[in-house]
Structure 1
Amino acid sequence: MTDQTIDTTAENERPTWPALVKGFRCKCPNCGEGKLLHSYLKVNDNCSNCGEELFHNRADDGPAYLTILLVGHLLAPALHISYVNWRPDPWTMAIGFSIGCIALSLFLLPRMKGAVVAYQWARRMHGFEKSS
């Protein structure tokens, strides 16, 4: 008996890493050209370039958790190193790291949202399976 199954995964494959990079750049995970977000955190319903439907996303709190995780892992060692090596005034350190935390959080949050939406698109989650 011969196995005559046809592997159709190659034609429907959506590579995850390229989609994540496109999403981190706040671009459409399908074409990489159209804008993913139309304001700070609002996802476009469709890509303006390729027409891919993007309204299926369920990013919810995931981007915020990822942002907190990254900011914490970047600034906690920096806080320790700066205190041990230079012993700055507590107010100077508090103001400096507060500004750094806010700036890094505001920079990363839309990029994490783009990456989460792109991951859902690549894995065909939450309605993205119906798209091409």
Structure 2
Amino acid sequence: MLRGALLRCPACGGGSMFARYLKVVDDCPRCGEALHHHRADDAPPYFTIFIVGHIVVGLVLFVEMAYRPALWVHGLLWLPLTIILAVLFLPPVKGALVGLQWALLMHGYDPNAEEETIDAFEPLPEDSRARG
């Protein structure tokens, strides 16, 4: 997870995990580890909101109790800070989650697992059908 949070390949720690801002490379440029298996989906934004929210709310409460500024000052302080922190935290959080998936051998990272294919048109075996 630490290698991922540092935006590096979870396998070797040397290659870059991202081709662009949030686009994970298909394979590590250094060691060749396949990284296209990741399924981060909605988890990185969720955890980013959770982390940034705790930071900003704590600061808002501290500033309000210590200085009692006008509401427009709060708006000028916290809106840009929230956006900047979210933009900065999102790639490391996504990298850490991809690193966690790699470490736990989730979503195709397990070299010993058979590849799962699901055919929507293939009928279910007789045993698995609901009996009524």
TM-score w.r.t. structure 1 length? 0.83
The match for 1:91 is 72
Please report how far the alpha carbon of residue 91 of structure 1 lies from its aligned counterpart in structure 2 after TM superposition. Answer: 0.7
Q: 1:127 aligns with which of 78, 93, 108?
A: 108
Which residue of 56, 77, 88 corresponds with 1:75? 56
Aligned-residue offset at 1:94: 1.0
Unpaired runs of 5+ residues, structure 2, are 113-132
Query: Among 12, 15, 28, which residue is 1:31 paired with?
Result: 12
Residues 40-80 of structure 1 deviation map (CA, whole Å, 9 limit, x = unaligned): 10000000000000000000000000000000111111101
Q: What is the deviation of 1:89?
A: 1.7
Structure 1 gaps of 5+ residues are 1-19
In structure 1, distance between residues paired with 2:34 and 2:88: 25
Q: 1:61 aligns with which of 17, 42, 48?
A: 42
Give the ranges of 4+ consecutive aligned residues of structure 1 lying more than 6 Å apart after TM superposition: none
Cα displacement string for residues 79-118 of structure 1 (whole angstroms, at most 9, x for unaligned residues): 0110010011211111210111000000000111100100
Q: Residue 87 of structure 2: which of 87, 92, 106 is its match?
A: 106
Matching residue of 1:12:
none
How many residue pairs get aligned? The number is 112
CA RMSD of aligned residues (A): 0.9
| Counterparts of 1:85 and 1:103, CA distance in 2 | 24
What residue in structure 1 maps to residue 27 of structure 2? 46
What residue number does 2:120 align with?
A: none
User: What letter corresponds to residue 91 of structure 1 in structure 2?
Assistant: W
SS at match of 2:110: helix
1:101 and 1:32 map into 2 onto residues whose CA distance is: 30
TM-score, normalising length: structure 2:
0.83
Please tell me the residue identity of whatever aligns with 1:108.
F
